[in-house]
Amino acid sequence: MQRNFLRIFLVLPVILFSACSTIVSSNNQSVTIKALHENAEINGSTCKLSNSKGEWTTVTPQSVTVRKSFGDMSITCRKDKLMGTKIVASSAEGSTFGNILIGGGIGALVDAGTGNGYSYPDAMTVDMMGYVAP
């Protein structure tokens, strides 16, 4: 009886905290995109953001809510004859490291799959360059 209780006592925290980021953080994040050309801000640029969880569109300098992902975010902005692209890597949140220490690899795998343990910078800048429209 004591042996079973001890097993439950040792295994229960691993199960409860195995997906810590999934429990304590949202799978969405608000980001703001700024478009620049020759160090001047270009307001009104249409920007398309995409990652493995979806696609979103915003107009600078408005914010947009995106779904977090383990993978990179691709951003393409356009206005008139200006265009810019940028790839932004996601970074692990602190709760993901807690998963590795407390829950082992299971929680980290869950957080990577859901994207909850990762985030993008809250503000991102895309450098615009001139191009000839087709």
Which tens digits make up the pLDDT trace of 4-51?
Answer: 554 555 444 444 444 444 445 688 999 999 999 999 999 999 999 999
For residues 94-105, average pLDDT: 53
Task: Read off the pLDDT of residues 46-85 as tens digits, 9 standing for 90 and up.
Answer: 999 999 999 999 999 999 999 999 999 999 999 999 999 9
* Phi, psi angles (nearest 5°) of residue 3: -65, -45
Domain count, the chain: 1
Find residue 58's DSSP bridge partners. 47
94 pLDDT tier (thresholds 50, 70, 90): low
* CATH number of the domain to which 62 belongs: 2.60.40
What range defines the domain where residue 113 resides? 2-130
